[in-house]
Amino acid sequence: MVAAIAGKMLKKPVCVASGTFGYGTEFAPFLDLEKIGGFVAKSLTLEPRSGNPPPRIAETPAGMLNAISIENVGVRAFLEEKLPALPEAAVVIASAFGTEPAVYAELAARLSDHPRIAGIEINASCPHVKSGGIEFGQDPKLLAELVSTVRRATT
């Protein structure tokens, strides 16, 4: 063990970023999830969200552009279906997204109550969503309010 997060030991000091690893189950056939440091699951909302209609990914000469818009199964399906499908020893950090601090806080409280969640990421920078996201990330006062509201709702 080389590092710890929220009292949970990590086998490696690096975690996979949210938005790159789905819910973890997608990568289980290709890699032992217990051997990586941990991963931040795809951002969650209170209710399932379909995101933007396709096409929403475009290749460019310099890389790729995307406008997924936080498509996800919602917190309930994540906790009841996705999380139990992961190995017990996998370190999981949940990512929360909402449109106002109270929504983030409710989401964070639900995630915080689950013993398998090692931490919560606040997604305050999603530029593809009209309300929330980037609005919080661009204003230090709004971001401070968001972080303190979420922190009060978690353990």
State yes or no: is 15 an active-site residue.
no
Distances from the Cα of 27 to the Cα of 71, 131, 135, 150, angstroms: 18, 31, 32, 29
| 8 A C-beta contact, residue 16 and residue 40 | yes
Class of residue 65 by CB neighbours under 10 A (exposed 0-12, middle 13-18, buried 19+): exposed
Q: Residues 64, 68, 69, 74: is their CA dihedral positive or negative?
A: negative
Q: Which of the residues 15, 41, 44, 126 is marked catalytic?
A: 126
Task: Supply the residues annotated as catalytic.
Answer: 126
